[in-house]
């Protein structure tokens, strides 16, 4: 928890926008835990994880939009079982809140 907020404070202190992704809900047989979190930075790097593979690429794509426009989003990800190769939706769904963090007007001035 501590590094999550420390990264936010560090980056926003430099005037950067930071985007946080939080797993807020899941249905079905998803291994991801509610409360999993990930940060996306303007230089393309990231911190933390919300789960592997296809989940992360979906989240990353949406985080990029939020990095660009500063708007919070909530997305629902269908978890596709890649092992079956048929695109079966059998892994359940994941609710992810994606939101921007920005420096306060006072800090930026």
3-state class of 79 per DSSP?
A: strand
| Site of interaction with other proteins (CB under 8 A) | 1-2, 5-6, 8-9, 12-13, 22, 24-25, 34-35, 72-74, 95, 97, 99-108
Shortest gap between Cβ of 82 and other proteins (angstroms)? Answer: 27
Are the C-beta atoms of residues 38 and 109 closer than 8 Å to each other? Answer: no
DSSP letter (8 states) at residue 34: T
**Gap between the Cα atoms of 99 and 82, Å rounded:** 28
Q: Shortest Cβ distance from residue 8 to other proteins (Å)? A: 4
End-to-end CA distance of the chain: 28
Smallest gap from Cβ 5 to other proteins, in A, equals 4
Choose between 35 and 85: whose C-beta lies nearer to other proteins. 35
Q: Which residue, 6 or 82, is less far from other proteins as judged by CB?
A: 6
């Amino acid at each position: 928890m501590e590094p999550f907020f420390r990264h936010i404070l560090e980056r926003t202190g430099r005037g950067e926008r930071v985007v946080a992704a939080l797993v807020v809900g899941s249905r079905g047989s998803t291994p991801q835990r509610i409360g999993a979190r990930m940060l996306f930075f303007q230089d393309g790097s990231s911190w933390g994880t919300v789960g592997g593979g296809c989940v992360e690429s979906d989240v990353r794509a949406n985080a990029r939009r939020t990095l660009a426009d500063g708007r919070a989003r909530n997305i629902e990800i269908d978890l596709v079982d890649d092992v079956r190769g048929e695109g079966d939706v059998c892994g359940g769904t994941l609710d992810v809140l994606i939101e921007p963090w920005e420096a306060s007007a006072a800090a930026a001035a």
